[in-house]
Structure 1
Amino acid sequence: MNILFLTIAYNSSRNIYSDLMNEFRDNGHDVWVVCQTERRNNRETHLREESGINILRVKTGNLTDKVSIIEKGLTMLSVEYLFKAAIKDYLSGIKFDLVIYSTPPITFCGVVNYIKKRDGAVSYLLLKDIFPQNAVDLGMIKNNSLIHKFFMMKEKKLYAVSDYIGCLSKANVKYLIANNKHLDRSKIEVNPNSIKPMELCEIDKSSVKAIRGKYGIPDDATLFVYGGNLGLPQGLDFLVDICKELRNYPQIFLLIIGNGNRYESMSNALKEIAAPNVMLRKALPKDEYDKLLSACDVGLIFLSPDFTIPNFPSRLTAYMETCLPVLAATDEVTDIKDALLEAGCGMWSKSGDLKTFMANMKGLAGSETLRRTMGRNGRRYLEEHYTVDRSYKIIVSHFEKAEAHTNV
């Protein structure tokens, strides 16, 4: 089949999207990816092959890092038009059988509809983000405002144009059905974040010491790591409270790695706290980050307590892949806590509950046996539930069902 994947950001290094596209490629399909290249990159729209996948990078406005709300909004709204125009210019001679797209953004409806009408393609939405409700939860958009209603209209149209919708978890499926009663339930399913796990290999103590030494991290401390976005969705005020508390626990070291619109405020807060066992670093290249994870002891996940939608952070798979136990502090709506319990791979507390969080943190720091057991459980759960071949099979199964129905 000819596969078209629409997404905002795409790179060939290992991640949930490149792993899925590689899986399609490895199963004999021809894959085209359409993604953006931001204005700040000074690159015009261009098409080239990367690792056997055709990637069309479309010049758009800026969207990431320090971008004003106005520019970000205008860029999001223009993406649909720019992608459609680029597909007409560069991919007019290709008939696509399947178009896959992820959220964010929710503004792909027009280009998806164009491909469906032009080629008769099947459409599959990977629902990674429930917008605009998440923005309402965080106070970024006022409930029932004009902008809220506008994006709700866009959201409804995107769901309507989708033949199938793959949700991150059971809680996401329930939320989508409860809040979109017009949708056909049969087209909604669980299709979680998934990766192609690296081969598991033990790392010796000398390697751990060398990796930690490179970053100035003591080799005798229990190393907790948070790697990911630093923004409103993470509820970082609670992370600041944790950092203050850690001044009393020198045997624990906290490493925070990431980018985001709250990076500077986080940096300023940590300077004021002046905890010697807390370190903040900018995001690292994927290979370097993976190597650093192998020298850590526990992976951290944070979500704002204000969410009414069930988020399911993709960094969980990175921790599981590296056999790291997980310590999470989130809202009570997400079912990531249920996954941790079912897998036996981590501990959970509500974001803002400092007493329980610190008790969990001390429990993990004080028992290497517990960490090893939970880490192995997480890796096993990953291999059973979150591998990219499973996501691939979920998607292509709809073609197999259609073919079987046709042959009856």
Structure 2
Amino acid sequence: MNVLFLTLARISNIEERGIYTDLIREFVRHGHIMHIVVPAERRFHQSTELQDGGNVKILKVWTFNIQKTNLIEKGIGTLLLEYQYQKAIQKYWKNAKFDLILYSTPPITFNKVIAALKKKDAKTYLLLKDIFPQNAVDLGMFSKDSFLYRMFRKKEERLYQLSGYIGCMSPANVDYVLMHNREVDTCRVEVCPNSIALCRVEEQLYPKEALLQKLNIPTDKLLFVYGGNLGRPQGIDFLIEVLAANEKRNDSFFVIVGSGTEFMKIKLWFDTNAPHNACLLSSLPKQEYDSLVRVCDVGLIFLDRRFTIPNFPSRLLSYLENRMPVLMATDKNTDIGEIARTNGFGLWTESGNIETFMEMVDFMTADRERIKIMGENGYAYLEANYTVEHSYNIIMRHFE
């Protein structure tokens, strides 16, 4: 099949690891020809260009900055995306016949591209990774009475209408979409979770103690690691509250690695308080980051408690792959905590409940053998549910 994949993810090489590149490689492994369209945001100073690698063709389209920028440019850039993508596809792949269009949210503004290609008999599948504009309402970015909400909500409804099938990250996501979009047929909505290609553990760049010493991380404490975006969706205020509470302990250390719009807020807290039980790393080379995660003991997930939509962060996969139990502080609507608890690989509390969260830290520090068992439970669940082979089969059963 000729497959067109539309995304906001930065993809230059499909050999890089990630939920989209891993899935793309799985499609290629099955003999499909992948046409991938990605943004070349203006901050990277690149023009629109096509990289033709035979079975994998990557079309990089010049766009305004869409990520890590101010709301005005992000909004304008998001609205222009469908025109820019459509123009580039028409220029470079005018005569291509696409059998299947895969696309992910964010954004919700690929409607014109999808509608045009559907007229040429392409099948469509939405990978729903983000429920917008409700998530922006939850975080107070605009209200349901605003023009922005009404405009984006219409685009969201149109996107669901154009999608032959909608793959959601979890059962709670399926329920949410069907409850708030009564016109969507239940047979078109299913769980197609975030997934990765399992690979052998790479050789460590450094022995454990050498790596921890290099990063000024103690070797005699249980290491809790958070890796990923540090933005408004993560509820950074509660993360800071957890770090402050952990300063009263002597057996646990928190490693925070990431970047995002709230990074300076958390950095200011570190600069002001100079904690002895936590460190903040803005960025690491990928191999060094992977090595660091492998020598930590417990993974962390934080989400803002105001969310009414059931987010399911993909960083869970990295923790499970490294056989780590997971502590979660999220809103009440996501089912990530219940899935972790039911399957024996994690603990959950609502974000803001500092007493329960620190009890969960107690639970982890009390028994190293328990950590090992929970980590193995998580890896087994990952193998059974969150591999790209699993996601590929879910998608392709509709089109073969």
Measure, in 2, the Cα distance between the counterparts of 1:10 and 1:39. Answer: 13
Deviations 1:9-47 (A, max 9, x none): 232310000000000001101001001011011110011
Contact 2:256 2:281 (C-alpha < 8 Å) held by counterparts? yes
Q: Does 1:312 align with 2:312?
A: yes
* Residue matched to 1:110: 112
**TM-score, normalised relative to structure 2:** 0.96
Measure, in 2, the Cα distance between the counterparts of 1:19 and 1:362. Answer: 36
Aligned to 2:40, the other structure's residue is in SS state: strand
Measure, in 2, the Cα distance between the counterparts of 1:49 and 1:60. Answer: 20
Aligned to 2:166, the other structure's residue is in SS state: strand
Bigger mean CA offset, 377-386 vs 193-202 = 193-202
Matches within 5 A, 1:33-48: 33-48=36-51
Measure, in 2, the Cα distance between the counterparts of 1:198 and 1:289. Answer: 16
Q: Supply the AA of the counterpart residue of 2:64.
A: G
Contact 2:32 2:55 (C-alpha < 8 Å) held by counterparts? no
Indicate the RMSD between aligned Cα atoms, in angstroms: 1.6
Contact 1:14 1:286 (C-alpha < 8 Å) held by counterparts? no
Deviations 1:364-400 (A, max 9, x none): 1221101100100000000000000010011110013
Q: Deviation of residue 219 (structure 1)?
A: 1.3
Q: Does 1:26 align with 2:9?
A: no
Q: Deviation of residue 233 (structure 1)?
A: 0.6
Matches within 5 A, 1:225-304: 225-304=225-304
Matches within 5 A, 1:143-292: 143-199=144-200, 207-292=207-292
* Residue matched to 1:405: none
Measure, in 1, the Cα distance between the counterparts of 2:182 and 2:267. Answer: 44
Aligned to 2:347, the other structure's residue is in SS state: strand
Distance 1:56 1:201, change over 3 A: closer
Q: Deviation of residue 208 (structure 1)?
A: 1.6
Q: Deviation of residue 199 (structure 1)?
A: 2.3
Measure, in 1, the Cα distance between the counterparts of 2:107 and 2:73. Answer: 15
Q: Deviation of residue 2 (structure 1)?
A: 0.5
Q: Deviation of residue 68 (structure 1)?
A: 1.5
* Residue matched to 1:68: 70
Structure 2, unaligned runs of 5 or more:
none
Contact 1:198 1:321 (C-alpha < 8 Å) held by counterparts? no
Aligned to 1:87, the other structure's residue is in SS state: helix
Q: Does 1:137 align with 2:138?
A: yes
Q: Does 1:121 align with 2:126?
A: no
Q: Deviation of residue 237 (structure 1)?
A: 0.5
Contact 1:246 1:275 (C-alpha < 8 Å) held by counterparts? no
Measure, in 2, the Cα distance between the counterparts of 1:290 and 1:363. Answer: 26
Q: Deviation of residue 49 (structure 1)?
A: 3.7
* Residue matched to 2:19: 16
When the two structures are aligned, how many residues end up with a matched partner? Answer: 397
Aligned to 1:62, the other structure's residue is in SS state: coil
Measure, in 1, the Cα distance between the counterparts of 2:312 and 2:7. Answer: 19
**TM-score, normalised relative to structure 1:** 0.94
Distance 1:164 1:285, change over 3 A: farther
Measure, in 2, the Cα distance between the counterparts of 1:380 and 1:201. Answer: 19
Distance 1:49 1:281, change over 3 A: farther
Deviations 1:78-101 (A, max 9, x none): 111000000001111211100000
Q: Supply the AA of the counterpart residue of 1:96.
A: F
Q: Supply the AA of the counterpart residue of 1:335.
A: D
Contact 1:10 1:18 (C-alpha < 8 Å) held by counterparts? no
Q: Supply the AA of the counterpart residue of 1:213.
A: Q
Distance 1:50 1:360, change over 3 A: farther
Aligned to 2:268, the other structure's residue is in SS state: helix
Measure, in 2, the Cα distance between the counterparts of 1:122 and 1:284. Answer: 40
Measure, in 1, the Cα distance between the counterparts of 2:238 and 2:98. Answer: 46
Measure, in 1, the Cα distance between the counterparts of 2:40 and 2:10. Answer: 9
Measure, in 2, the Cα distance between the counterparts of 1:73 and 1:193. Answer: 26
Distance 1:344 1:80, change over 3 A: same
Q: Supply the AA of the counterpart residue of 2:259.
A: N
